[in-house]
Amino acid sequence: MTKTLLHIDASALADRSVSRQISARIVEHLAPAEVIRRDLSDPLPILTQDWIGANFTPADQRSDAHKAQLALSDSLLDEVERAEVIVIGTPMYNFAVPANLKAWLDQIARAGRSFRYTESGPEGLLTGKRVIIAIATGGTAIGSDHDFASGYLRFMLGFLGLTDVSFVTADQLGTPAETKLEAAQAQIARLAA
């Protein structure tokens, strides 16, 4: 049984969001002991010059202002580090991930904390976790030439050490949505708890 699960939703829609519905079903199916909830409909700040300056200042030399700049990022990374499983519900907006999900990834991609550079190249530090991504699209097929979301997510999460990534998809919902939702439910049923 999963002990701690981080549940992230990125859709700007509330009750009508297919990705939110699917991610909620995944969490219910896995029945974790604890759920950490992160709703990105309240957008995170984008990276600024001050944030970057604070991030690249060695930890033992950071001022109180630096620490304040990184406080949210530290909190987001704490959530990821605590979780055994991460469930991300996201739509595809304009062929890619929503800006709020990109902002979350920017906040957690920190050299020395979530990855490090070695002589043989970058090494992800957020290892040993399972990631399940519920992704919904209006007209774009997942894995098609126009899908710039799933490949980006797989690469970016892998860069951080999160390599056990699977997708539950409800794509091309512009076509008969009921069939797509039934297919997504079947994918959830096949997930090992």
Annotated binding residues for FMN: 11, 17-19, 92-95
Annotated binding site, which residues? 11, 17-19, 92-95
Distance CA(31)–CA(104), nearest Å, equals 25
